[in-house]
Structure 1
Amino acid sequence: MGHIANSSWVPSVTLRVGAGSVEVAALLLGADGRVRGDADMVFEGQPAHPSGAVRHEKASLVLALHEVEAEVERIVIAGSAGGGSMAAMAPDRTVVATWMMPGTDKASAVVFGEFFRESGGWKFGGLEKEYASGLAGLVTAYGVEVAEDEPAAGRTEKPAPGLLEKPAVEAAAAPVTGPVPLAGVVKVPMHAPPTAGGHQGTPGGAGGSGTPGASGSTGRAGTVGTPIAPDPSVFPPVEREYRLLEGWEFGPVFKPFTVTGRGSDVITTPGRVPAGPVLFEVAHQGGGHFAVVPLDKRNKEGTSLFNTTVPDYRGSTVTPAPEDRPLRLRLIGENDWVARVKPVAAARRLEPAMAGYGDEALLHLGGAADLRVDFKGSPGGGGSIALWVHEVTGQTQLTHVGRTLALNTSGRILQTVPLPPGPALLLLIADGPWSLTVREVGF
């Protein structure tokens, strides 16, 4: 079950692709839909393509689409689990493609989708392919030859089951006991037989050994005025993030404040963050419960800005920085996190077509328009979505004046809501992936 139709354009830049805690792999395919050789599979045990255009890093993939060899027509994204939610993120943290697979108990590996060339650029298309035979069966379908261990004496092996494509159901050859780790796949060269006496092993897993550790491991999070350098795999450096929207006047302008940490903590903004509405961005690595709650002048908790169990969560919203004291926020989590306070003018712009996952603050400067909202619900089913529209002309705070609740529903929807002309701040609150299409009405 995906939420982006096939033939969705993506920018030809370096994308980071992940699926939460699901281990991912990439298969680089030629015009015939098959790998050209052993090196065209990139995963944890073989973390880099010879061209350098595709790499495996910390349970995610890095695809430099502008550097992919001309002979490669498609890049298939696979996962070592029966389901999950895949997302592709551009260097500016924009989510350019997502796809959700609900999973079944008959599959232990899936193909999420593929990036493919068209008209000189790249598109993404979601796929629904499940493999009961795990990653070994999956990669075989694309031309990878998988070496199998010799069966123990006195034991017979049943043939591996083939491809499961919905709605076909395959007779089980053996019980599926769980996802097959990508590192367990041992390959042999496609155009040469295995050497006598054994199989050719995968290269040593050196790709993960050079990855920097958690950014919060070198100091304590929440230290006012001395933010710890963020992990670039979570957020790009500040210099590439700090881009103000010209002509946007709602909220103060200041140098962004960044802090990282692990587990639960309280952060306090420095004096350079003035009073008024500010953009708050957060990223939480891994799974488990994660929440962000503002603290009032009595140091008591208010209404949560974020409250989620989505793995590898990223979100943004706008919150007021008080006049008489610093902004203080309690972060409740189990893993590494990065938080940023930035001017509202640095938020993501509403574009004619865009996609994302979870909560997001968006800036609208266009004319009156119809906004088409496609929401598939949360990965576990259900889920809700809401959209607040704040007209900001003449406003200095988020008040009830000019505020409209344009959408508030649950479950899967495909709905159009009217938008007033900008400038306006859109606060999207969602429990799963979404896509937006803007159609200006012309008056």
Structure 2
Amino acid sequence: MLRGLIKGDNAFVPTAALRVAVRSGVDVAALLVTEQGRVRGDADIVFHGAPAHVSGAVRLSPSADGDAGGTVWLDADLPGVEEQIARVLVVASTEEGALRDARGLSVEVLGPDGATVVAYEVTDAGPETAMVVAELYRRSGGWKFRAVGQGYVDGLTGLAVDHGVDPDGEPQEVAEQPAPQAPPAAPAPLRRPTRDELLDMTEEQIRALTEAHAQARAQAPLPAAPAPEPRPDPSAWTCGPVFKPRTASGRDNDVITENGLPPGPVMIELTVTGPGYTGLWPLDDSNTKRSSIVSSTETDFRGRVVTSVPEHGRLRLRLEADGPWKLRILPLAEALRLSESRLESRGPDVLLHTGGTADAVFRYKGSSNFIVYLYRLAGHTDPTRLPKSGGSAVNEIGARKETLPLPEGPVLVCLTSADGPWDVRLKDVGLHSGGQEAENAAKLPAPRGARAWLRRVRG
């Protein structure tokens, strides 16, 4: 870890798509909370039963194959976090034993280039079974990371209630003297001890309290799973391969070669530091340049574009750049999801629309070409190639406001040329009519509520 914090420390992090690694084999969740420190509802809980937030900005993935350390990855696309969300809490919990038994419990934040930005190792865990390990929070127009390390001896239930999560009437221990008006069989909530009371309790009393909560949760019946929403989800795509992202870096002109990729359309994320011309071309098997996918004179170029991996799985790219560069090869599932919240960025990019018919309102602040292509994925069954775009949906020059009507999703919205800042939001979003996309969504794990998280239901 390149930069370790101690409990209570904080540090600025890039306002970018970050990856958060939580190590030590614990259960991991994320809570997206408002300025008041509370979730707006069950949808703001990201856990293994509901591994992606509805905004697409926070996603959870399990340990990688062969990772003996039990690392869980949390993807946090900070520019895509909704404006109402002030903090993203990283939560760790254990189903058996206490967090003090989780050796090497730590959080590490990696930047878009894969380098460590900041890290925190928990060294003082005790009998707690749940903990807010760290948080990403807004500050001074950017984002910061804080090493929190706040544990809860009464487990996920105590942590959940503190952050506005409704356990949905989960049965709990009956009070010794129930109110006379209450029905005899109605359980009363188990009172949570204060912090001062907890400090005065012995380890045996703490263990008994923890077991009482665990027994109450075990006896609670599982709720019926809600019906899936009749619209597609990014993870239900049938277009484009899914693979672990690849990263390369260098300086000035170069040829980048990546072997062993699954064939099909992929995203290329390129960042070049410094002024000068930036160009990027795929190379065919005869080492001949194909059509350029990047051509820009913007200083400090940043952009994401689409290309295709050949059937043999060997992708070669010719790069022209003046200065240091970093390149990532990503699956299309990493595309930013469009919503009614404003999304701000600069340079070419790849966006995803999954709802019903809608209008995408773009505001472009550059002085050169602004070109947008649409790829309608509904009903497209060939994962090795994109459908035909039908030509550019927008092709203009200079700063402008453009409203683009979108068909029902899933639709890939590719900004192939956009030298300069831009923002976009959806308006007049209609309900999805269903069809094949609804069938795809039905194959996904059904969305789970707060009780499913507390019961550790997995999709």
Q: TM-score range by the shorter chain?
A: 0.3 to 0.5
TM-score normalised per structure 2: 0.44
More helix by share: 2
TM-score normalised per structure 1: 0.46
**Higher RCO, 1 vs 2 (CA within 8 Å, ≥6 residues apart):** 2
